[in-house]
Amino acid sequence: MKLHIKVGIQIQKPVDEIFNAIIDPTHMSQYFIAKSSGRMEEGKSLIWNFPEFDGDAPVRVGKITKNELITFYWEINEIEVEVVIQLEPRADGSTVVRITEKEMDNDEAGINWLKGNTEGWSNFLACLKAYLEYGINLRRGAFGFRF
């Protein structure tokens, strides 16, 4: 059986604001990455840099459907994995954001990936919510203890 990560959260903002906050590096640098080589666009290859990790993270953007779906691929343990971000608008103007990352073998390396990236995507969602709803960058200074 293969391992998959699934996380989700409801954010009290309309879907278009959330979509733009995810694809626009100006916004992403306020809650997720330090910088990006560009905006997420279908078929584009990007380099992301994270403030708490050394090195760059190559990202290959997959399918994008405005205000609905963002997919991209990155390498984990020398395996390219797909990340799927789904946006579900609600009648009250809020949006449910669901993230799935797949897939890894059910072995020690896969379990370590599952633990680490589930934590990472949960943090991403909490940081996205804090940024959009309250203008707070939760990541700033949060991971300095790791160095």
Quote the percentage of the chain above a pLDDT of 90.
Answer: 84
- Residue reference for tokens 């626009």: 24
CATH number assigned to the domain comprising residue 129: 3.30.530.20
Question: Domains in the chain: how many in total?
Answer: 1
CA distance to 53, 58, 70, per residue, from 7 (Å): 22, 22, 15
Q: How confident is the model at residue 147 (pLDDT cuts 50, 70, 90)?
A: low
pLDDT at 71 over 60: yes
Q: What is the mean pLDDT of residues 96-100?
A: 98
Summarize pLDDT for 99-124 with one digit per residue, the tens: 999 999 999 999 999 999 999 999 99
Q: Would you say residue 67 has pLDDT above 90?
A: yes
Q: How many other CB atoms sit within 10 Å of the CB of residue 41? A: 10
Distance from C-alpha of 73 to C-alpha of 81, rounded to nearest angstrom: 5
Host domain of residue 77: 3-146
Mean pLDDT for the stretch of residues 67-94? 95
